[in-house]
Each structure stands twice: as structure tokens, then as C-alpha cells.
Amino acid sequence: MSAPDPVPPKAERLGDGTVAVRAGLPEPVKNEPPLPGPVFAAHFHLPGDVEGPYAYGRDTNPTWTLLERAIGELEAPGLNGADTVVFASGMAAVSAVLLSQARAGETVVLPDDGYQALPLVREQLEAYGVHVRTAPTGEDAQLSVLDGARLLWLETPSNPGLDVCDVRRLVDAAHAGGTLVAVDNTLATPLGQRPLELGADFSVASGTKGLTGHGDLLLGYVVCRNAELAAGIRRWRKVVGAIPGPMEAWLAHRSLSTIQLRAQRQWANALAVAEALADRGDVTGLRYPGLPSDPSHKTAARQMRGFGSVVSFTLADRAHAERFMAALRLVEDATSFGGVRSTAERRRRWGGDAVPEGFIRFSAGAEDTEDLVADVLRALDLAAAKS
Ligand SMILES: *Cc1c(COP(=O)(O)O)cnc(C)c1O
């Protein structure tokens, strides 16, 4: 049993904001709400033969179907056959692709500077007899370890280092050798980057971050190039049961309608913060793919439609970074990113990522730009004065 086919692509391309506010909405029905409420159902009426789209709540749910169409309209507009599968979290989606596509004896290529839970997935893959090779995201270094792999996993921009790789170049090399390509699109969101248009077979993301943007739910998704790939991903979801609750799916769909508004403000704020940081003597290692001076900018500008809300930089040491974090008033000290309220954190407090003690991952929210930049500069001044 599979969900109904995604809606056919629209003939004319509309702007991102226009697509976002209507994405995934069903045909209007008199006296019904434009976005139907969440359908809470473990099972559906099923007299006689097992047929129709909805039978059991672990396999399909109409609230997921609408959300899957909405995400598909943003990630792969006009791409016939592309199919989206939503999951309970970003990691559920990541694991679905990595653990369902590779068999014992096959090889998977991962970035060595990607999301902090990737090493855990690596352990699991290796426990199942899958070989794992890694290389950095920057300078397309994964090209050198591609040979004979079953699956190439890209994360661009990478979290938290914000390196970028050339997706089309890596896809071309991978496909020439029969290797599938998945891109973690969490940081960019579908508004900032469309991996399937760059040739990837899977676009995978956490919907917990900028996609939904309010920090009030966990969600993940996989957009697959074709129905055959999607069938394998759906099957995995059914087997492990990593399904989103209908309430989360509905909240996510509601939040999606404002993604263009949120992203425009967040990207502008991220660029303004990055530009302000670039002028500071107390900041090193500044990275933002949208800064023309950034090493990633050329590649990013070719393949991205927006550069995201995350800026990373380094202060002198742990104490300096902690003083900065404590002095911020409009920026919450919290992990995650992509929300309407700016957040930042000293990333090394988690262990894991290979970053300096004073490394800050900063996520620009939807505050007024002047207020946000002023708060960051004031906190930097305070942190420097007390050193
Ligand atoms: C947060 C994140 C994930 C995992 O998403 P969850 O929703 O937290 O499970 C995966 N990849 C990247 C790049 C992330 O930032």
C-alpha cells in the first residue's frame, strides 16, 4: 500500500512565497477548512478487500499525505515522479536512507565533518557489515573515496563548519560509477537549495530546523527521485515505525506556509551579522556561504538560491565565548537552528564536533536586523572588555 501520487507539477512556475502558502493544500471543498485538521487514527474503516489509500496508521495517514505533497512542491517542483516520505525526526529520515540502501559488503561514503550523529550511524552501518569511508566536505574531497561505493552522502552546507561541496560535480562522478547520491538539505531548506535539481537521488532533511522554524516539533523527510526509491524508503518507515504524529505533521504543514517570509528575514539577518563580524578583530574563522569573501561562496552561489540562517565563528577561548553567550539579550543560548528566535551556542560543550573551544554556531532568527546586529556587537564588546 502506498500513498496517492503527488499532485502533478504546476505548468507555470510561481514565486516561492506563492508556492509556500498553497503548498500541499487539497482541492477546496465547500464548508471545509483550506488545510484540513490533523487526522488522528490508528486504523481506518476497511470493509471487505484491503484497498484504498488508508488502512493502518503506521503505513499511511492523510495528514502526512498533504505534508508530503507540500514538501515535494518546494523541493522538487516540476520533477515528475519525485516522491516525499515524512519521518518522526531528521535522524529517522537520515537512518532510513543510510540503513535501507546499503547491504553488508557494500560501501557508503560519508562526510567527516557532518552532523554530529553521523558517527553513530556509521557505527551502526559497520555493525551490519557495511564499509564506510569518509572525507571532508570542502574542496569536493569525497570524490577521492568514491570508487565502487553504493551510496554517497553529502551535507552541504555542512553543520557546523559551513563548508560547501559542488553537488553536481559529485553527482556526475558518483552516477558514472553507479553510486546513488543523498544530500542532507537541512541547513539550506528547500528554499535555499534543491538537491534533486542538482542531480541527487535523495534530498534528506530535518524538518525540525528552518523548514518549520518555530522550535516546537521534530520532523524529518526524504524526497526521492522516483517511485522505486520511494518504495524502499516507505517500506523502511513501515518496518521501523519511525512515523511522525499527525499533530506534528499538521503543525509542520501550517508552519511551512510562512517559510519564504521567515527565510528571507533570517538569511538577511545572517548576512548582516556575518558582515558585522567580519569587521571585528576579536573574531576569527568566520564562515557564511553568503559572504563574497567566504571560501565556499563561489560554489554556493552556483547551486544555492539562498545561503541559510547559520553563521559560524570563533572567539579567543572558552571563557571569552561563554562571556559572549552570557551577554546576549536577544539571542537564546540553545542548540538547534533555523528558528524565528535567534539562537547560538558554544559548540564544543557537546564534545563531538572537531571545532575550537571558542567556536560559536549562530542561527539568525526573524528579529529586526538592526536590533539583532546591535545585540551581537554589544555582547562582543562586553565579552572583550572583561577579558
Ligand atoms: C538536526 C540535524 C539533523 C537531525 O535532525 P533531528 O530532527 O534532530 O533528528 C540531521 N542533519 C542535520 C544537518 C541537522 O542539523
Q: Is the pLDDT of residue 353 over 80?
A: no
Band of pLDDT at residue 2, cut at 50, 70 and 90: very low
Judge contact between 365 and 316, C-beta under 8 A: no
Span 356-377, mean pLDDT? 98
Task: Kindly indicate the confidence band of residue 228, based on its pLDDT and cuts at 50, 70 and 90.
Answer: very high
Q: Measure the CA–CA gap between 126 and 375, rounded to whole angstroms.
A: 46
Ligand 1 center from residue 31 Cα (angstroms): 38
CA of 162 to the centre of ligand 1 (A): 14
% of the chain beyond a pLDDT of 70? 97
* Distance in Å, CA 214 to ligand 1 centroid: 15
Burial class (CB in 10 A: 0-12, 13-18, 19+), 98: buried
Full-model pTM = 0.95
Q: Give the fold, CATH level 3, of 16-256.
A: Aspartate Aminotransferase; domain 2 (3.40.640)
**Per-residue pLDDT tens digits for 140-181:** 999 999 999 999 999 999 999 999 999 999 999 999 999 999
Mean pLDDT calculated for residue range 92-109:
98
- Domain ranges in the chain are 16-256, 259-385
Instruction: Enumerate residues lining ligand 1, CB below 6 A.
Output: 89-91, 94, 115, 155, 159, 184, 186-187, 206, 208-209, 218, 220
Q: Which fold has domain 259-385?
A: Aspartate Aminotransferase, domain 1 (3.90.1150)
Which residues are within 8 A (CB) of 42 and not within 5 positions of it... i.e. 6 or more apart? 56, 57
Lowest mean pLDDT segment, chosen from 10-14, 202-206, 284-288? 10-14
Per-position DSSP letters for 80-104, written without gaps between them = TT-EEEEESSHHHHHHHHHHHH--T
- Among protein residues, the one whose CA lies closest to atom 7 of ligand 1: 90
* Residue with cell string 510561481: 14
CA of 24 to the centre of ligand 1 (A): 23
**Most informative mutation of 184, 186, 219 for ligand 1 (most atoms within 8 A of CB):** 186
Mutate which of 86, 87, 94 for ligand 1? The one with the most ligand atoms within 8 Å of its CB, which is 94
Contacts of 386 (CB under 8 A, 6+ apart): 323
Q: Whose Cα sits closest to atom 1 in ligand 1?
A: 206
pLDDT tens digit sequence for 102-135: 999 999 999 999 999 999 999 999 999 999 999 9
Minimal-distance CA residue to ligand 1 atom 2: 206
H-assigned helices in the chain: 16-22, 62-75, 90-101, 118-127, 167-176, 189-192, 227-240, 246-256, 259-278, 297-303, 318-327, 369-385
Q: Which ligand 1 atom minimizes the distance to the CA of 207?
A: 7
Dump pLDDT digits (tens) for 249-288: 999 999 999 999 999 999 999 999 999 999 999 999 999 9
Please state, in angstroms and rounded to a whole number, the distance separating the CA atoms of residues 222 and 205: 7
- Beta-carbon contacts of residue 177 (< 8 Å; ≥ 6 apart): 146, 147, 148, 149
* pLDDT number for residue 1: 42
Give the distance (Å) from ligand 1 centre to CA of residue 206.
5
Q: What is the mean pLDDT of the chain?
A: 96
Q: How far is the CA of 115 from the centre of ligand 1 (A)?
A: 7
> Quick check: 6 pLDDT over 90?
no
Q: What is the mean pLDDT of residues 64-75?
A: 98
Which residue's CA lies nearest to atom 5 of ligand 1? Answer: 90
What distance in Å separates the CA atoms of residue 307 and residue 328, rounded to the nearest whole number? 24
Q: Which of 209, 214, 309, 361 to mutate to test the pocket of ligand 1 (most atoms within 8 A of CB)?
A: 209
Position 351 scores a pLDDT of 87
